[in-house]
Structure 1
Amino acid sequence: MAKNIRQQMVPDLQHLRILVAEDEFFVANDIALWLERAGATIIGPAPTLREAMESLSSADDIQVAVLDINLNGELIFPVADELVRRSVPVIFYSGYDTMNVPERFKSVARLSKCAGSADLVSAVFEEYLQNLSTLAPAGLGVPDQSVIDLIPGLRLRARQLTPNAEAADYLVERTLERAIVSVASRCRSQPLDQWLHEMMVAIHLESPYGLN
């Protein structure tokens, strides 16, 4: 039962378009399968640096990238540079735990190939959410609260609504997933924390007994 609950708590990636660059066939297949099962659309997987660069040229709507650092002896950094230029969040998914990366990539998320499917999907979701920053309605360019800063408060509110810790965390995830989809309809005058808390209560009322 606990395993089933954890599986249900994997975030819905909401059809995010994710570039995957990986030279090992079976690893690339696993990554694509895990992310597609979570709702993502895969660009690639690209097994070489050249093919990854071609994917960048043909796709201008990439939202997250999962990149192996070493593709058949070529380092992925030119691809990462272009993605950073486009403000696309990058995750280095590599078996080289001790490999040095250039200083400009020190803040890029890194995940070991020993990580499982739930870890990868959660990392993709968190990086995308972090990149959204505020969930502010498009085109307004006005400073807003940070979603990441609001998560502790959301978790506390969720625990007030349901005493089960796993169900509470799932409620937070569902709230953030719905917020990403619904951001265009948010009234800009409403504080972000108030909007998210009201959304959480509405979701809880839809399913007051926890996971469904």
Structure 2
Amino acid sequence: MTPLPPAPLHAASAHGPRGTGGGAPHIGDVPALRRRAPVLVVEDEALIAMDLADQIEADGGVVLGPAATSEAALALLAAAPEIGAAVLDVVLGRDTAFAVAAALTRRGIPFVFYTGYDDLRAPPEFAAAPVLDKTHGWREIKRALRRERRSLRTEVEALLPELRVIAREIAGDAETGDRLIERTLARAADEVASRRHYPSVDAWLRHMMKHLAFGRDPGVN
């Protein structure tokens, strides 16, 4: 079998993510931090919330919130057409932010747990989520979001040759298979947080690829 040429992670997609008409973004990027999509801040301590919001805005960002309860955060999340990332205080009075984390994961929005507790006991599905204590500011939070994506991008690059073989087998020809890979990478870049629902990056991408090929997405026939 002739070896397949490598496919770049930023290969152009016919439709681009979310139908924007652009190329597929690098998985190593945090699109929200490039597009100035709002950053949801969930924090019940007013001074900390205001300070963090000020730091985000000073960095050129847009803040959604701050929300002091999970109920308020979920309402903001439901009403916002686009949220790029979120910073979640874990303990909100007698409540926690785990319901918000679950909603963010369903929408593929990356987030960081921001806590004053040394021993965070998160549900297993959030075990891989970045955790920072409250001595850190927005710059460190932004770095944590980017580190998570860079690590993911390295894993994806290693899997690409095998994934391209599978895509071409599914699609039936090389050109359509490569378009399927491009759309899979674009979707993965948009929905990075959904990775936490799967046991491995390989399983995540294969499921996404099959959904695009056989599900409701019209981009690959």
TM-score calculated relative to the size of structure 2:
0.52
2:119 is aligned with what amino acid?
A: T
Fraction of identical pairs, as percent: 33
Structure-to-structure mapping, 1:1-212, within 5 angstroms = 13-14=33-34, 15-127=36-148, 140-141=182-183
Contact 1:69 1:76 in 2 (8 A): yes
Check 1:59–1:127 CA distance in 2 against 1; reply closer, same or farther (3 A cut).
farther
CA contact (8 A) 1:89 1:127 kept: no
- The RMSD of aligned alpha carbons is 3.2
What amino acid is the match of 2:79? S
Distance 1:91 1:97 in 2: 15
Cα distance change on mapping 1:101 and 1:109 into 2, 3 Å: same
Judge conservation of contact 1:64–1:128 (CA < 8 Å) in 2. no
Q: 1:117 to 1:107 in 2, by over 3 A?
A: same
Structure 1 residue 115: deviation in Å?
Answer: 1.4
Query: Following the alignment from structure 2 to structure 1, what is the Cα–Cα distance between the partners of residues 148 and 68?
Result: 23
| Residues 143/100 of structure 1: CA separation in 2 closer, same or farther (3 Å cut) | closer
Offset at residue 118 of structure 1 (A): 2.6
Partners of 1:90 and 1:109 within 8 A in 2: yes
Rounded to whole Å, the distance in 1 between the matches of 2:153 and 2:39 is 15
* Separation in structure 1 between the aligned mates of residue 153 and residue 53 of structure 2, nearest angstrom: 23
Per-residue deviation, 1:63: 1.2
Checking the alignment, whether the CA contact within 8 Å between 1:34 and 1:121 is kept in structure 2 is no
| Structure 1 stretches of 4+ moved >2 Å | 120-134
Distance 1:124 1:39 in 2: 17
Say which SS state the counterpart of residue 120 (structure 1) adopts.
Answer: helix
| Contact 2:104 2:111 (8 Å CA) reproduced | yes
Q: Give the drift of 1:79.
A: 0.8
- The higher relative CO (CA closer than 8 Å, separation ≥ 6) is in 2
Is the contact made by 1:35 and 1:121 (CA closer than 8 Å) also made in structure 2? no
What residue is the counterpart of 1:169 in the other structure?
none
